[in-house]
Amino acid sequence: KQMGQEKAAALVRELLQLVQESLRRSSDAALEESNNIMVVLPGTAKENALMVAGRIRQIFDDYLAEQGLEDQVKSACSVAAYPEDGESEEKLFTKLGVR
């Protein structure tokens, strides 16, 4: 809120680019929707997805620190797996706190 919508949207785009560059498999994807970055890791066990989430979290923390934004920007990361956390898009998004 302090940075304004335009600056926040630019930051999300920059973070999305960093996430996309960090993905290792061609089937993995990162996308942005409503200032949320979602990473889809098809065929990945939840334990491995949690490790990827930790790596992405570190990327965010490092970038925000480099930009001097660590005190201004708060981010959260959560993991939901199909089918154990939900068998529909709506249930998975609810688990993630997106909807």
Angle, CA 99 vertex, CA 58 and CA 84 arms, to 5°: 70
Alpha-carbon distance of 81 to 47, in angstroms, equals: 10
The pLDDT tens digits of the residues spanning 12-41 come to 999 999 999 999 999 999 999 888 899 999
Q: Encoding tokens for residue 83?
A: 């089918």
3-class DSSP state of 48: helix
Number of other CB atoms surrounding residue 14 within 10 Å = 12
- Which residues are within 8 A (CB) of 7 and not within 5 positions of it... i.e. 6 or more apart? none
The pLDDT tens digits of the residues spanning 25-82 come to 999 999 998 888 999 999 999 999 999 999 999 999 999 999 999 998 888 899 999 9
